[in-house]
Structure 1
């Protein structure tokens, strides 16, 4: 029983700490959110390997509709000494629109960060289902984010034997395309 109480107390403490840290991050993000926009998603990691936590922040327009193709800004915020943030880069054409997912609706699944890489993940379709992952890598020599990979798969959901088709986007831009110039809907 004593172990159970200790475990319960530990869970409450961890949950409380996590909730407080989410509130702190939300407060830090406020200055970067334009009027009529709110947070779609964000992820924290050390993208430029300077030991300060950086944030990749996706925004959505508060007046989006299901068929809307309104821009969804994606911001890269670098952490600073003392816990502050500074805007490193912004791209209004990197995140797929809410209406881009077909019958499944909003295709946006989230942001992931691993080391110097961050990815935008999507899933959508109707009869033909698809996923897509767009990954950028921080290049410490260029001091810039470069398109690393933009690919996914699709399949016909009605077929019993689901044959996946590999989909690659912007292949000629891998390792060259700067984050600020990237557009999801061009090749």
Structure 2
């Protein structure tokens, strides 16, 4: 019984601490959120390997609708000594719009950070389903974020034996495309 009580207290405390840390991060993001926008998603990691936590922040317009193609800004915020953040780059064409997912609605699934890489993940479609993962990598020599990989998968949902069409583009196919110049609708 004692172990159960201790475990319960740890879970409650852990959830409370997690909620508080989320509030602290959101408070740090406020200066970077323009009027009429709110947080769509964010992820924290040390992208430039300087030991300060960086944040990739996706924003959404508060007025966007299901069929809307309003831009969704994506910000790279680099951590500074003392816990502050500075805007490194902004791209209004990196995140797929809310209306870009077909009948499935908003295709945006989230942001993932691993080491010097961050990825934007999507899923959408109707009869023809698709997913897409766009990955950028921090280049320490150029001190810039470069498109590393853009991959997608699609299939016909009515097929019994689903045949997947896979498209994977590596940096060899698109060169050293900078994050600030990337547009999701460019083939």
Tell me, in whole angstroms, the C-alpha distance in 1 between the residues paired with 2:129 and 2:117.
26
Maintained 8 Å contact 2:73/2:93: yes
1:75-97 CA-partner distances (Å, limit 9, x unpaired):
00000111100000000000000
Distance 1:114 1:93, change over 3 A: same
1:119-148 CA-partner distances (Å, limit 9, x unpaired):
000000000000000000000000000000
Maintained 8 Å contact 2:41/2:110: yes
Maintained 8 Å contact 2:148/2:170: no
- Give the total of aligned pairs: 187
Maintained 8 Å contact 1:148/1:174: no
Maintained 8 Å contact 1:148/1:175: no
Following superposition, which runs of at least 4 residues in structure 1 exceed 3 angstroms of deviation? 168-175
Unaligned runs of 5+ in 2: none
> Counterpart of 1:27 in 2: which secondary structure?
helix
Maintained 8 Å contact 1:45/1:113: yes
Q: TM-score w.r.t. structure 2 length?
A: 0.97
Q: TM-score w.r.t. structure 1 length?
A: 0.97
Unaligned runs of 5+ in 1: none
Deviation at 1:167, TM superposition (A): 2.0
Whether 1:49 and 2:58 are equivalent positions in the alignment is no
Tell me, in whole angstroms, the C-alpha distance in 2 between the residues paired with 1:99 and 1:9.
43
Deviation at 1:171, TM superposition (A): 6.0
CA RMSD of aligned residues (A): 1.2
1:50-93 CA-partner distances (Å, limit 9, x unpaired):
00000000000000011100000000000011110000000000
Moved more, 51-60 or 173-182: 173-182
